[in-house]
């Protein structure tokens, strides 16, 4: 019989340290429940969640429609094999292709799995067309996942070094440097794989000129353009897909995180032509496309499309950016503000340690992310209001006013 430890913080920590692989370094808190943009810990303290499960909880916590879908679908059918047709999967594929420039969808369980699928699809496309093209060019400081395939695609050595030798077939070039990328293309190159906003490097945007040049190069040389929208997709940047801001059409896009609103799902979207890179049996997933997760993703799309959530993202984003720039003028320790929509990076001077600031904000009831030593990342639920965001701005201003010791 399972022990109920959910309200005993010390026992939660003890069980974690004794029985979980220690691959995380959790902050000193555990949450019992949430509502909207707020989380509540074992001591009933309330926190504003401004990291949203790292851009996952797109509808916030305990969203009524999503909770209803989970209950109803779980009572009907949680899982069945991909040996059979699955209504929820078919509907989700139709909806995502209808709202994008793509024709086909494959469903997985995470962003890393989606990116693995995209890499396989790109290589399979050239294999099935009788060409020996396999190399994937990615950007330095990129992040595409933690599986062996996706760390090989990730342009940060720290993620690959303990698990070498690296899988072959990947090459890394500086982000936003088109001429270097162009020079690295050869007869074995299959695809260029990009994040349009590098979230894990500190929230850095690709420039319009760079993205358009890469798309034109791929068209000219017959390469595929893979856009990793695991973090930026499904409304995060104020459009359903970040690539829409650049007026381009990728060949493959990957999604995850916010698509399920908190349940695990990943997706590979591709054009009809490129989807031929997979033949029957070339790829699959036991849990991918299961009824429960697909039903949840359909509800997330309903909520985004029917409740003016994209308009809210743009409205609240403009407000946060405006207020952050006011703080930047007032406090020179803020050296840069970056991002789009509700994916925002705030970079501080060396006098401010991001980890210390994150802890101070948590002490005051605000949850944020930190990247490296100097960047605070915001990725709140897409339902956050200006009034709620204003509370964070006030708290940050108060801390910066008394920033000694951070």
Residues 169-207 have pLDDT tens digits of 999 999 999 999 999 999 999 999 999 999 999 999 999
> Residues 62-96: pLDDT tens digits?
999 999 999 999 999 999 999 999 999 999 999 99
- The confidence score (pLDDT) of residue 250 equals 98
Assessment of whether the complete model's pTM goes beyond 0.75: yes
In a domain, 153, yes or no: yes
pLDDT in tens, 246-282: 999 999 999 999 999 999 999 999 999 999 999 999 9
One domain for residues 355 and 258 = no
At 359, the pLDDT band (50, 70, 90 cuts) reads very high
Tracing tokens 């320790």 back to the chain, one arrives at: 333
Q: What is the DSSP string of 317-328?
A: HHHHHHHHHHHH
11-21 mean pLDDT: 95
In 10 A of CB 61, how many CB atoms?
23
In a domain, 50, yes or no: no
pLDDT band at residue 1 using 50, 70 and 90 as cut-offs: very low
- Domain assignment present for 344: yes
Question: Quick one: pLDDT band at residue 402, thresholds 50, 70, 90?
Answer: confident
Q: Are 375 and 394 within one domain? A: yes
Domain holding 158, by residue range, is 66-306
Confidence of residue 215 (pLDDT cuts 50, 70, 90): very high
Residue 2 — very low, low, confident or very high, per pLDDT cuts 50/70/90? low
For the chain, give the percent of residues with pLDDT over 70. Answer: 99
- Look at the chain and report how many structural domains it folds into: 2
Q: Is residue 15 part of a domain?
A: no
Domain membership of residue 187 (yes or no) is yes
Own/partner pairs for 91-98, CB < 8 Å, 24+ apart?
A: 91/294, 91/298, 92/289, 92/294, 92/297, 92/298, 92/301, 95/298, 95/301, 96/255, 96/267, 96/269, 96/301, 97/269
pLDDT of residue 334: 96
My answer on whether 264 and 358 are in the same domain is no
Question: Does residue 70 lie in a domain region?
Answer: yes
Q: What is the CATH number of the domain that holds 369?
A: 3.90.1150.10
**Average pLDDT of the segment spanning 129-156:** 97
Are 241 and 100 in contact by the 8 Å Cβ rule? The answer is yes
pLDDT in tens, 317-350: 999 999 999 999 999 999 999 999 999 999 999 8
The verdict on whether omega for the bond into residue 165 sits within 30 degrees of 0, i.e. cis, is: yes
| End-of-domain residue from the set 277, 306, 335 | 306
Q: Quick one: 155 and 189 in the same domain?
A: yes
Domain-located, residue 9: no
215: domain CATH number is: 3.40.640.10
Domain boundary among 252, 271, 306: 306
Task: Report the pLDDT averaged over residues 389-400.
Answer: 97
Residue 145, pLDDT score: 97
- Same structural domain for residues 132 and 277? yes
Q: Are 241 and 351 within one domain?
A: no
Neighbours of 360 (CB within 10 A): 20
Whether residues 181 and 317 share a domain: the answer is no
Chain centroid to CA 287: 20
pLDDT at 405: 52
**97-124 per-position pLDDT tens digit:** 999 999 999 999 999 999 999 999 999 9
pLDDT above 90 for 236:
yes
Same domain, 137 and 177: yes
Considering the domain architecture, whether residues 367 and 219 belong to the same structural domain is answered as no
What residues are annotated to the active site? 143, 228, 257
Work out the pLDDT band at 7, boundaries 50, 70, 90.
confident
Residue 186 burial class via C-beta count within 10 angstroms: exposed 0-12, middle 13-18, buried 19 and up: exposed
d(CA 135, CA 171): 7
Residue 347 lies in a domain: yes
Distance CA 291, CA 79 (A): 6
Q: Are residues 268 and 393 in the same domain?
A: no
Q: How confident is the model at residue 24 (pLDDT cuts 50, 70, 90)?
A: very high
Cβ proximity of 347 and 377 under 8 Å: no
Q: Are residues 261 and 384 in the same domain?
A: no
Residue with token string 């270097």: 180
Output the average pLDDT for the chain: 96
- Tell me the average pLDDT across 157-172: 95
Q: Are residue 201 and residue 322 in the same domain, yes or no?
A: no
Domain boundary among 272, 306, 340: 306
């Amino acid at each position: 019989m399972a022990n109920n430890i959910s309200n005993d913080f010390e026992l939660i920590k003890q069980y974690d340290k004794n029985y979980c692989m220690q691959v995380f370094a959790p902050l000193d808190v555990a949450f019992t429940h949430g509502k909207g943009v707020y989380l509540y810990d074992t001591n009933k303290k309330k926190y504003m969640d401004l990291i949203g499960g790292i851009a996952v909880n797109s509808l916030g916590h305990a969203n009524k429609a999503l909770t209803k879908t989970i209950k109803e679908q779980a009572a009907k059918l949680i899982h069945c094999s991909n040996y059979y047709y699955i209504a929820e999967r078919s509907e989700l594929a139709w909806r995502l292709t209808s709202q994008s420039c793509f024709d086909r969808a494959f469903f997985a369980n995470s962003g890393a799995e989606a990116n693995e699928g995209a890499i396989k699809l790109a290589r399979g496309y050239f294999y099935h067309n009788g060409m020996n093209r396999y190399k994937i060019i990615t950007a330095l400081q990129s992040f595409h996942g933690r599986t062996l395939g996706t760390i090989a695609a990730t342009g940060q050595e720290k993620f690959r070094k303990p698990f070498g030798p690296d899988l072959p077939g990947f090459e890394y070039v500086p982000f936003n440097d088109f001429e270097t990328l162009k020079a690295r293309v050869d007869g074995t190159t299959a695809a260029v794989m990009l994040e349009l906003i590098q979230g894990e490097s500190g929230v850095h945007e690709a420039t319009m000129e760079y993205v358009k040049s890469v798309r034109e190069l791929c068209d000219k040389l017959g390469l595929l353009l893979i856009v990793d929208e695991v973090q930026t997709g499904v409304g995060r940047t104020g459009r359903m897909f970040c690539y829409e801001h650049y007026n381009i059409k990728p060949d493959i896009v990957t999604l995850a995180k916010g698509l399920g609103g908190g349940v695990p799902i990943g997706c590979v979207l591709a054009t009809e032509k490129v989807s031929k890179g997979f033949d029957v049996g070339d790829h699959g997933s036991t849990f991918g496309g299961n009824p429960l997760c697909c039903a949840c993703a359909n509800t997330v799309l309903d909520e985004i499309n029917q409740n003016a959530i994209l308009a809210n993202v743009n409205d609240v984003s403009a407000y946060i950016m405006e207020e952050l720039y006011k703080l930047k003028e007032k406090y020179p320790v803020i050296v840069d503000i970056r991002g789009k929509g509700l994916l925002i990076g705030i970079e501080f001077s060396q006098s401010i340690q991001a980890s210390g600031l994150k802890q101070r904000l948590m002490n005051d009831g605000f949850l944020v992310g930190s990247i490296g030593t100097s960047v605070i990342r915001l990725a709140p639920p897409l339902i956050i209001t200006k009034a709620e965001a204003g509370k964070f701005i006030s708290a940050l201003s108060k801390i910066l006013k008394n920033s000694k010791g951070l």
